């Protein structure tokens, strides 16, 4: 896979996952609460950060802060959500496995995109150094 596309793949995956989260929150039929409002706000902010990554990448630049911020947010949220989901007796095994898989794919894509961008930056900097 082309290095340039990895941040786009990660951002697209993030938009897909958290867009579905928003749809699920809005479709569950419960009345709004502070928890639901916070969940919507968090999902929206992660999507906004993913959009910043897409815009920066499509403009030809490498996002200096949005990609690491998105990866960090992804790792942090799944580090909290997966144990909560797994320990919740109301969720079935299938639900738990799906969310564990979403977490694994999200973290793997984010870490791979970040690593590839860092490698590309080092290569560009190394090529820019004067040769003796």
Q: Averaged over 71-100, what is the pLDDT? A: 96
Asked whether the predicted pLDDT for residue 28 surpasses 80, the reply is: yes
Question: Does residue 63 surpass a pLDDT of 60?
Answer: no
Distance CA 78, CA 107 (A): 8
pLDDT value for 128: 60
Q: Is 59 helix (H, G, I), strand (E, B) or coil?
A: coil
Q: What is the pTM of this model?
A: 0.83
Q: Has residue 38 got a pLDDT over 50?
A: yes
Checking if the pLDDT of 79 tops 90, the result is yes
In this predicted structure, what is the pLDDT of residue 122?
A: 66
Q: What's the burial of 6, exposed, middle or buried (CB within 10 Å: 0-12/13-18/19+)?
A: buried
């Amino acid at each position: 896979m082309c290095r340039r596309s990895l941040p786009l793949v990660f951002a697209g995956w993030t938009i897909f996952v958290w867009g579905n989260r928003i749809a699920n929150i809005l479709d569950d039929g419960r009345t709004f609460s502070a928890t639901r409002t916070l969940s919507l706000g968090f999902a929206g902010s992660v999507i906004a950060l993913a959009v910043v990554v897409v815009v920066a990448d499509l403009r030809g630049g490498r996002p200096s802060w949005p990609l690491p911020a998105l990866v960090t947010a992804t790792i942090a949220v799944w580090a909290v959500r997966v144990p909560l989901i797994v320990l919740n007796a109301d969720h079935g095994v299938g639900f738990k496995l799906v969310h564990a898989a979403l977490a694994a794919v999200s973290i793997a894509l984010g870490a791979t995109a970040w690593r590839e961008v860092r490698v590309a930056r080092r290569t560009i900097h190394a090529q820019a150094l004067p040769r003796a």
